[in-house]
Amino acid sequence: MASKFLRRQKWWVKFRHPRTGHLFRESLQTHDAVRAELMRARIEVQLQLLEPKFLNVELPQSLASLLDCPAVAGSETPMLEAPLPQPTKAGPAQESPTEKPRTTVDEAVAAYLRFVRSENASAHVSNKVSIFRRFLGDKRIEAMGGPARVKNCARKASSTEGAIVKPFFTGTYLDEITPALVQEFIEGLGVGRDTMRHYRQCFHHWFSFCLKFDLYHPTNWHRPNPMSGLSSYVTRNRQIDFLTQDQIQAQLSALHEHPTIRMAVAVMIYAGLRLSETLWLTRDSIAPDFSFLSVRNRADKDAGVDSSLKTGERTVTILPTLRRELELYVNRTEGTWLFPKSGGGRWRADTFGAKLRTLNEKPQLPWTCLAFRHTFATQRAAEGWPLFRIAKEMGNSVAVVEKYYAGFIRPVQLQDGSR
């Protein structure tokens, strides 16, 4: 594919040679957009003729004469052709002087983690490191400068030297990592599809980085990033789980003896916040008149992490039902965090989720924090809120809201009161 762009009032063209992979940027020597598009289209046709699949395609001589082109596609040197290295008489083909050296996996991972550290919070970096740790093993990650693995409290009693994560991949070079290999690794983890999709995204982003910084040299120009061949691990025909009004009351009643967790659940149900957004709320997140919540990026100095909000900062309306409960709750709490754990610090999402599941076991309530967020969306859609407002309050795009909640939207004739 060839693309054009404007630079200093002149059109330029950008393309990769289909046989050598070299990237070219050349001026078209014109400021006329129409002429530039014609030239770009011709270059694209010429590039297609240079693809390996056309090189040995023979045309009948009569047809070749009619088209005024060689019978064998490779018998003449077409436009933009770059000579390929030829084998010498003394032996097999020698390495081209322009051939780039193979990148080792260790170099690629170390460079990628440096890049991630410069762009993201430490918690996000730790997440990436844990993925590579399971793929390459503890010793290899630590040898390239990665942090030593920290054993969590749940494993302290049984942690031994034998518990060190063993490598799945033991190769040396980046081009040895194939989509089939990564698929075998991901599907052998024994995790859910959401986690599998997260691993797939990590590997795809890693190879995108390597392509961008010339660490990986693709062999298939129709799919430069080999990880794009992996399954998306997206569950089709996804069912939306949400609570009815009676189920909401049952859930909140079950948490009556745990007011902090109960209030956090109420915020997810009536404000549509994600669990991670809810746990990062502070007392000053609430407007003085209790009219809205302010979802902002914050830092936890005790843990040395920041929130790194998924969809940026926004304000969320506090509905009357939630407002009454929040007013009573805030008057009974102290400290910085709106929903602190027993020691006064901030809840971690996984710890909060585990605690909620434990509390819901006795009353046999099956709902998750995602179901609470779905409840907010379905209720607002049924009330006739516009898609744009629902999306803005939830921190989603209109397309995502329409995709998942279109079946709950009130018909227009009912929204405007007409029959």
Average pLDDT over residues 212-240: 82
Distances (CA, A) of 50 to 37, 57, 59, 63, 74: 20, 11, 16, 20, 8
Domains of the chain (ranges, CATH numbers): 2-56 (no CATH), 105-229 (no CATH), 245-408 (1.10.443.10)
Give the tokens for residue 309: 């909000």
- Expressed in angstroms, the distance from the first to the final Cα of the chain is 53
Q: How many residues in the chain?
A: 419
pLDDT at 168 over 50: yes
Can you state the angle between helices 259-271 and 349-361, rounded to 10 degrees?
A: 100
**CA atoms of 193 and 123, how far apart (whole Å):** 22
3-state secondary structure at position 7: strand
Q: Two tokens at 331?
A: 């008057």
pLDDT at 319: 95
d(CA 170, CA 185): 12
Residue 111 or residue 145, greater confidence: 111
More confident residue, 307 or 210: 210
Average pLDDT over residues 400-404: 87
- Which tens digit of pLDDT belongs to each residue from 58-88? 778 888 777 777 666 555 555 554 444 444 4
DSSP states along 142-181: HHTTPPPPPPPGGGTTT--GGGSPPPS---SBGGG--HHH
Residue 292 is predicted with a pLDDT of 96
Strand ranges (E), 210-366: 292-295, 299-300, 305-306, 314-317
Angle at 74 (CA atoms; ends 73, 78), nearest 5 degrees: 90
Q: Which residues contact 96 (CB under 8 A, 6 or more apart)?
A: 85
C-beta separation of 49 from 75 below 8 A: no
Residue 214's pLDDT band, with cuts at 50, 70 and 90, is confident
Statement: the pTM of the whole predicted model exceeds 0.75: no
pLDDT of 161 reads 42
d(C-alpha 324, C-alpha 322), whole Å: 6
Given a cut of 80, is residue 31 above it in pLDDT? yes
